[in-house]
Amino acid sequence: MSEKFAAVEIISAKRDKHELSNEQIDWTIDAYTRGVIADEQMSALLMAILLNGMNNREISKWTEAMIASGEKMNWSMLDRPTVDKHSTGGVGDKITLPLAPLVAACGAAVPQLSGRGLGHTGGTLDKLESIKGWKANLSNAEMLKVIQECGAVICAAGAGLAPADKKLYALRDVTGTVQAIPLIASSIMSKKIAEGTSALVLDVKTGSGAFMSDPKDAALLARTMVDLGKNAGVKTRALVTAMDVPLGLTAGNALEIRETLEVLAGGGPSDVIELTLLLANEMLDAVGIKPKVSPEEALKNGMAMDVWRKMITAQGGDNDAPLPVAKEKMEIKATASGKLLNLDAMKVGVAAWRLGAGRQKQGEVLQLGSGIEIHAKPGDLVTKDQAILTLHTDEVARFERAIDALVGGFSIGGKDDEVKRLPLVVERIEG
């Protein structure tokens, strides 16, 4: 068949800072999905977008075209409203795990499509695969069955959902174009809109351990995604939240499942509980649910834990099987007494990755027990030789590179020194 456009026309237009028309964008996404546009041509276009940007109309159309490349899910048969949450990822960010069953316990349906980790940020599916027998890949019919039975499901996106994004994401990852805001926003929102949820709450991380380390960039990304959701008829709001320090007291797959169970049992670290409750209230408010039992109470009284156990069982998981434990441990100790002034999220994340908690390429097998336990957070008083971190791995040889990654990762000052940290919620953005 004769093609409406030529790839080189599209590349040249964006190279020269011109707007792409709706017809050009539709053709580009469709032609790339069909294999008419070669990877090297799309790579050139992605770099032009990174350097020259897109306006709101172009981003919106690019997102629509990616949604149109596949199927769109429908939850109209459910007897409760659907709401989802997406995080841009960080170190120790296990919030999805307690949040989905908590929101379901309070009366909403949560179709949570999640991903795997790459680099220093952990993936929700990898964490859940620490649980013996748990299955990430579900058909649409299986997803529906789990939601009807449990109120929530956490699983991988099916192959039919925004297939153009899968091709584009893999290409962005190897061409240095991951950080282009139009491409990040359209990638996330194409999948979330195609997922068919009626409302969406975005958790956009900022700080050293985040994709967008500058709060201004994070806020711009959040606004762009909120606008995309609004234009598609999805009630969307965003919180820009702190990722200068790891969330909670663990970074690693089985370690974070253990911490999740502590939260669902009514305990756990205060920052994880606070952010989980903030997001739960945002999600319930977005779909107009005023729960009879508050999210805070549902965590304390075991309602959220009941949904979690039911959901894990429904996806083949054994709630009572022991979690993987790493074979080797090493403590990183304080060299002086005083106040812990900082704990760099990026350095902790890279160290956990090097210990075996993350993968360097898609498909690599993880050490599910590997990672880092955190024994002190900025503002805490510590004594000389007190353990600040415990490193976990199956291979002693990995300790050296993990320790290298932690150089300058924390500092200890005087008891009266000021601790400079981002507030947990930096900004709230609503369409």
* 286-319 residue pLDDT tens: 999 999 999 999 999 999 999 999 999 999 999 9
Q: Is 276 found in the same domain as 224? A: yes
- Residue 394's CATH number: 3.90.1170.30
Q: Is 147 found in the same domain as 29? A: no
Q: Is 201 found in the same domain as 112? A: yes
Q: Is 384 found in the same domain as 238? A: no
Active site residue 172: yes
On whether residue 422 sits in a domain, the answer given is no
- State how far the Cα of 234 lies from the Cα of 16, in Å rounded to an integer: 34
Active site residue 198: no
HSE toward the beta carbon, residue 170, CA cutoff 13 A: 11
On whether residue 73 sits in a domain, the answer given is no
Q: E strand or H helix at 340, and its extent?
A: strand 338-343
Active site residue 191: yes
Q: Is 349 found in the same domain as 314? A: no
- State how far the Cα of 344 lies from the Cα of 256, in Å rounded to an integer: 18
Residue among 14, 120, 172, 377 flagged as catalytic = 172
DSSP class of 396:
G
Q: Is 332 found in the same domain as 211? A: no
Structural domain containing residue 28:
7-53
Residue among 93, 126, 165, 227 flagged as catalytic = 165
- Residue 19's CATH number: 1.20.970.10
**Burial class of residue 175 in the structure, from the number of CB atoms within 10 Å of its CB (0-12 exposed, 13-18 middle, 19+ buried):** middle
State the pLDDT at residue 1.
65
pLDDT at 216 over 90: yes
Print the SS3 string covering 172-184. HHCCCCCCCHHHH
Q: Is 204 found in the same domain as 96? A: yes
Q: What digits encode the pLDDT tens for the residues 273-294? A: 999 999 999 999 999 999 999 9
pLDDT band of 179, cuts 50, 70, 90 = confident
Q: E strand or H helix at 9, and its extent?
A: helix 7-15
Q: Is 400 found in the same domain as 336? A: yes
Q: Is 186 found in the same domain as 253? A: yes
Q: Is 303 found in the same domain as 334? A: no
- State how far the Cα of 226 lies from the Cα of 27, in Å rounded to an integer: 25
- State how far the Cα of 22 lies from the Cα of 68, in Å rounded to an integer: 13
Q: What digits encode the pLDDT tens for the residues 53-86? A: 999 999 999 999 999 999 999 999 999 999 999 9
pLDDT at 186 over 70: yes
On whether residue 33 sits in a domain, the answer given is yes
Residue among 14, 61, 85, 86 flagged as catalytic = 86
Q: What digits encode the pLDDT tens for the residues 264-277? A: 999 999 999 999 99
Instruction: Indicate the Cα dihedral angle 266, 271, 277, 278, nearest 10°.
Output: 170
Q: Is 336 found in the same domain as 283? A: no
- Tally the domains of the chain: 3
Residue among 114, 130, 186, 187 flagged as catalytic = 187
